Structures are given as C-alpha cells and as structure tokens.
Copies of this chain bind each other. A is one copy, B any other.
Amino acid sequence: MVGQSLHLVEHGSMENITLYNYFRSSTSYRARIALHLKKLTFEYKPIHLLNNGGEQNSEAYRKINPMGGVPTLVHNGHSIAQSSAIIEYLDEAFPQSYQLLPKDIVTRAHIREFCQIINADTHAYGNLKTLGYLTKNFSMKDDQKSAWLNYWMHEGLTACEKILEKSSRKFCFGDSPSAADVFLIPAITTAQRFEVDTKIYPNMTRVFDHCLKEEAFLKAHPFRQIDTPAELKI
C-alpha cells in the first residue's frame, strides 16, 4: 500500500483510524478538521496528487478509493471515501465525541444543505483534474481560468453567505463549530489560493477568523501537515 511510514496524529485514545490524504486538498482538509474536532487519534498517510503520475491513481490505492480521490478513511479495516460520507460516519461511529451535526433534525438538514452547496455545487469546478481537462482540451488561458474560478466560487459562496446572514454567530450555525464550518474553511482557503476575493462576504469572513483561532482548525491546516513542503510550512 502507498504511504508506508507511520505518522500518528495523537489525541490520547487509540482508535485504529488511518486517513489517506494530501496536505493541500480541500476535501482532505475537511476530514482532518473533523477528526481533530472529535479528538480522534489517526495515522496520517500522505497520498501525493502530483508525484509519480498522482499516487491516487495507483492500483493499490484505487482498491480503497474507487474514484482515485482523497481522502479515504480506514477504520477497523473498513475503507470509506468521500468527505461527506466520512464526516457522517465519524458522528455515527463515535457518538460520545464532539458531534458535527446537532440533534435537531431541521438544523441537521440545513447544515447538510450548506455542506452540499460547497461539495456538490462548488468544489468540482476548482479541483485539479477539472482545471487540467480545461487546459488540455479547451486551451484555457490564465484569464479564462481566473474567470472560471471566480464565477463558480462566487456562485457557491454567495449562496453560503446568504445562509450565514441568518444562521451564523461565532460559527456557521451558532456558537460552536459544526460540519458547516468543516466544509466552509477549506472552501475559503481554496478560493483565496486562486485569488478569489472572499472579503466581500462579511459573515463568512467573521466565521473564518474565529475558526482559525481554534485548535482543531489550526492542527488540520494544509501548511501544518507532514507532507507540507518545507517552503510552505508555518
């Protein structure tokens, strides 16, 4: 299997969890925040999305992740791909730890709606393989890339801000972090990396600033992982 070396990210108790992931991937970042919020110890296995033709494309890795994507969570021998599925699973498998979805079913629904605006309606447009396809097959130039990213990210972020106007306080839904924050912070980080202006969203900016003071979000940050290149480390 890929990612041979053992790197434990510790929180005390041993849970037999492995996370295959990549420092910069926003879906990996989501899974890391969730694990840290829940204070679950996990083994960090880096999957480099660019080296060796993309380690996610190896036959060995495709066995645990049929899309060849990151992240994949392995718990007690069960592989689970897709960050949304991982986050729901963590809440169900570890009900005694911090809950990413609250008990009230309407609020749970609104948080899931928020997460899927990012996951289903925003994320695909900015990921590596989409941009690669457009460059290769549509000869996308830099200004077209910037227009593409700005258009789709603002579509999603505008809808998120609209929800946050009503739902947010310190965090996306009230005064404690939920799955919504787990999805939002990596989305903002990606948008900023692509020079999409997120400061025009006041509620989102306030929530982002609060989250970046929280230990779980700091520990999960792309620039603080074992596979973060030295020149990016903070």
Contacts and interface: CB of A to CB of B under 8 A. Distances in A.
Interface stretch (A108-116, A214-222, A225-233): A108-116
A221 B92 CA distance: 33
A208 to B, nearest CB: 19
B113 A80 contact: yes
A112 B85 contact: yes
Contacts of A86: 109
A186 interface: no
A158 B117 CA distance: 25
Contacts of A80: 106, 109-110, 113
B89 A159 contact: no
Interface stretch (A15-23, A118-126, A199-207): A118-126
A134 interface: yes
A158 B116 CA distance: 23
Interface stretch (A32-40, A46-54, A148-156, A170-178): A148-156
Contacts of A137: 144, 147-148
Given A110-B80, A144-B137, A144-B138, A116 B85 contact: yes
A101 to B, nearest CB: 9
Contacts of A109: 78, 80, 85-86, 88-89, 92
Contact of A119 (B120, B158, B160): B120
A112 B88 contact: yes
A198 interface: no
A125 B133 CA distance: 12
A67 B159 contact: yes
A95 to B, nearest CB: 10
Interface of A: 62, 66-69, 78, 80-82, 84-86, 88-89, 92-93, 105-106, 108-110, 112-113, 115-117, 119-121, 123-125, 130, 133-134, 137-138, 140, 144, 147-148, 151, 155-156, 158-160, 162-163
